[in-house]
Chain A
Amino acid sequence: DTEVTQTPKHLVMGMTNKKSLKCEQHMGHRAMYWYKQKAKKPPELMFVYSYEKLSINESVPSRFSPECPNSSLLNLHLHALQPEDSALYLCASSQLAGGPQNTQYFGPGTRLTVL
């Protein structure tokens, strides 16, 4: 299994809603990542988990809350989002964080629309 899966594929939510994005990989990777990507822009790093511990938080607003329940799963909890948070949210994993083993495998993304 060389795949990173993400659910849901599409999500529409209001500014008062609470929702979660899910990401899963079964490649035995110990690093997992959340990215935000706006149209025609490169992905922007949000969070990095290494061995299930948060190692990087790129000054992301607290309305985004990551969680890594185990080495295969990564969640992104969303609460009180703004319309400008609408974007493609990409999950990625790599064997390790850093070094040549950090080739990241990306999931298909969740297209989020905040109304």
Chain B
Amino acid sequence: KNQVEQSPQSLIILEGKNCTLQCNYTVSPFSNLRWYKQDTGRGPVSLTIMTFSENTKSNGRYTATLDADTKQSSLHITASQLSDSASYICVVSTNRDDKIIFGKGTRLHILP
């Protein structure tokens, strides 16, 4: 069964600190993996997209990694800011159909 598992479910860190969010997937056949940031009550915004051959991709203070062998991805946030408080959703696509599989997200809280 195609699944995307994220951990932790929620995370609280102090402003300026770094953190890493995890995503494990069992989606097959794999096409690509994306990390989205979703503020409460708003639509998700794409942060990174990674295909099978890519190991690392950065977008400002966000760095995503992908290990296609172990089917794991991480999102590292450096020097966190209060505006980073949001849900971070890992989304995986297959080559088989038009659907994408969402993780349940990690709720990140940045405290001043």
- Residues of chain A touching chain B, judged by Cβ–Cβ distance below 8 Å, are 4, 6, 31, 40-43, 45, 48, 50, 55-56, 88, 90, 92, 97-100, 102-109, 111
Contacts and interface: CB of A to CB of B under 8 A. Distances in A.
B111 interface: no
Given A107-B43, A111-B41, A102 B98 contact: yes
B46 A105 contact: yes
Contacts of A6: 43
B21 interface: no
What 10 pairs across the A-B complex have the smallest Cβ distances?
A106-B43, A42-B102, A97-B98, A106-B44, A98-B98, A48-B98, A108-B43, A109-B43, A107-B43, A90-B43
Interface string B17-44: 0000000000000011010100001111
A102 B43 contact: no
16 contacts: A4-B43, A41-B104, A42-B103, A42-B104, A43-B102, A45-B100, A48-B99, A88-B41, A97-B98, A102-B100, A103-B46, A103-B49, A104-B46, A104-B100, A105-B46, A106-B43
- Interface size class, chain B: 20 to 34
A41 B31 CA distance: 24
Contacts of A104: 46, 100
